[in-house]
Amino acid sequence: MPTDPCLPFIFVTRDAGPILRAFGETVIMHLDSVATGGVLNLWTEITPPGGGPPPHHHEREDECLAVQEGRVAFFSEGEWREFGPGAVVFMPRKHIHAFKNVGETPSRMLISTTPGGFDKFFARCHEEFKTAAAPDMDRILQISAEHGIHFVNT
């Protein structure tokens, strides 16, 4: 497959990149949409015990998560499955999914989405969470919908 000669090689160290905070989680955005020409996003997500997003689906992005530290349960096809370091989970777009840190220490995952664009969602949510003691959840749901992310009841 040919590569785009306009995109440079990118080398990123473990904790390099802008730090975003939203939903009680810390995101270190290693590769944003600008850096990859919109091909993908890559970030580290640090989730406190009990944390993680509720069930949702993405209209546009496929998501791949690699557990690096901690114990994480993943929701897919109506059931939860628990994994530890070394596990890799692929969550295709339009499939309802979720994850939750089920351990007693923060979990750490390396996550990618294709195509890129998820970085813009995180940046907008980061702004909402940093400017308010308790963000307006209707506003968060609106931002999510604008980025093709829909939360569901299971």
Average pLDDT of 117-121?
96
Average pLDDT of 142-147?
96
Q: pLDDT-based confidence at 2, cuts 50/70/90? A: very low
Q: Tell whether 105 is covered by a domain.
A: yes
Check pLDDT > 90 for residue 5: no
What pLDDT, on the 0 to 100 scale, is given for residue 8? 87
Q: Tell whether 30 is covered by a domain.
A: yes
Q: Domain with 120 in it: what CATH number?
A: 2.60.120.10
Check pLDDT > 50 for residue 139: yes
What's 95-149 look like in SS3? Answer: CCEEEEECCCCCEEEEEEEECCCHHHHHHHHHHHHHHCCCCCHHHHHHHHHHCCE
Instruction: Give the chain's domain count.
Output: 1
Instruction: Say whether the peptide bond before residue 115 is cis (omega within 30 degrees of 0).
Output: yes
Report pLDDT digits (tens) over 31-59: 999 999 999 999 999 999 999 999 999 99
Containing domain of residue 29, as a range?
Answer: 19-148
Report pLDDT digits (tens) over 81-112: 999 999 999 999 999 999 999 999 999 999 99
Q: Tell whether 134 is covered by a domain.
A: yes
pTM value? 0.91
Q: Tell whether 4 is covered by a domain.
A: no
What pLDDT, on the 0 to 100 scale, is given for residue 81? 98
Q: Tell whether 127 is covered by a domain.
A: yes
Q: Tell whether 81 is covered by a domain.
A: yes
Q: Tell whether 6 is covered by a domain.
A: no
What pLDDT, on the 0 to 100 scale, is given for residue 3? 58
